[in-house]
Amino acid sequence: MAISLAQLTRTNSPKPPRVLIHGVAGVGKTTFAADANAPVFVQTEDGLGTLATSHFPLARTFEDVIDALAALYTESHDFKTVVVDSVDWLEPLVWGRACRDNGWASIEDAGYGKGYVAALNLWRQYIDGLNALRDDRGMTVIQIAHTDIKRFDSPEHDPYDRYVIKLHTRAAALLQEHSDLVLFANYRISTVKADVGFNKKVNRAMGSGERVIHTAERPAFLAKNRYSLPDTLPLDWQSFIQAMPDSLQSTLSPSQTTTTRT
């Protein structure tokens, strides 16, 4: 079919955002997502704790995750946000499916990284499911990930360590490209010089326990945003809403009937 200028369109209202949030353990990533507008959790790990929010049974296979996304797409419901918690616990399920499809005992059996390449096809199937919920059902997408510290080999500078998403490199890159926002959650930390005697001083970290999300990439961590957000925000859903474009704030704001947490 030929393409013509008559097919040009102009988007008047932006679609809900696709958010990927990673951060240090216990910082509050799941609580942040639970405060979103009418969330439902697709769990690959048992990380809800005492949070009272709607969720599917714990997914034990890749098929369980896809089935949950399909149910949200085909069945009637009032949920406005789908939360996958977490993508790094989803990764072994993806590998398990790739191994079953190809008769491998492990993802390494294919050799030369071919197993991870095969897994990307399943990751794309998963992303297609998220995109369908966003595009056709108007749902905000939040993916939660743990963080890892890895060496970054820069072509311009000496290597240095940085916080990255705890996934295989290929899968991490795919999810980052798919997301409109990659948020890094951490505690706000400052350093002070401390005298340890013998004319020696050392740097010591200090923090008040304040939790923040970083939206712009820095050498120390991976982040990105497509909405010109401030570089740093409180790790709080309401603060996040207020920083987003006006056209999206009503979509992201929890309604009065949203399930509350304990």
* Residue range 47-65, pLDDT digits in tens: 887 888 999 999 999 999 9
- Per-residue pLDDT at 204: 44
- Per-residue pLDDT at 255: 75
13: left (phi over 0), alpha (psi -120 to 50) or beta: beta
Location of structure tokens 């918690």: 85
pLDDT of 10 > 80? The answer is: no
pLDDT of 241 > 70? The answer is: yes
pLDDT of 30 > 50? The answer is: yes
How far apart are alpha carbons 134 and 101 in whole angstroms?
A: 28
CB 222 within 8 Å of CB 184: yes
SS3 readout for 12-32: CCCCCCEEEEEECCCCCHHHH
- Per-residue pLDDT at 192: 44
pLDDT of 129 > 80? The answer is: yes
Q: Where do the domains of the chain lie?
A: 15-248
pLDDT of 262 > 50? The answer is: no
* Residue range 191-238, pLDDT digits in tens: 444 444 555 544 444 445 789 999 999 988 999 999 999 999 999 999
SS3 readout for 228-241: CCCCEEECCHHHHH
- Per-residue pLDDT at 205: 42
- Per-residue pLDDT at 5: 86
How far apart are alpha carbons 9 and 5 in whole angstroms?
A: 9
* Residue range 94-107, pLDDT digits in tens: 999 999 999 999 99
- Per-residue pLDDT at 25: 87
- Per-residue pLDDT at 144: 97
- Per-residue pLDDT at 155: 75
- For residue 29, how many C-alpha atoms fall within 13 Å in the half-sphere facing its CB? 27
Nearest to 185 by CA among 122, 135, 142: 142
pLDDT of 34 > 60? The answer is: yes
What CATH number matches the domain at 15-248, 3.40.1360.10, 3.30.1540.10, 3.40.50.300, 2.60.40.10?
Answer: 3.40.50.300
| DSSP bridge pairs for 203 | 193
For 51, other C-beta atoms within 10 Å of its C-beta total: 18
Give percent above pLDDT 90 in the chain: 71
CB 27 within 8 Å of CB 186: yes
pLDDT of 128 > 80? The answer is: yes
Q: Catalogue the E-assigned strands of 66-159.
A: 81-85, 140-152
Q: How confident is the model at residue 35 (pLDDT cuts 50, 70, 90)?
A: very high
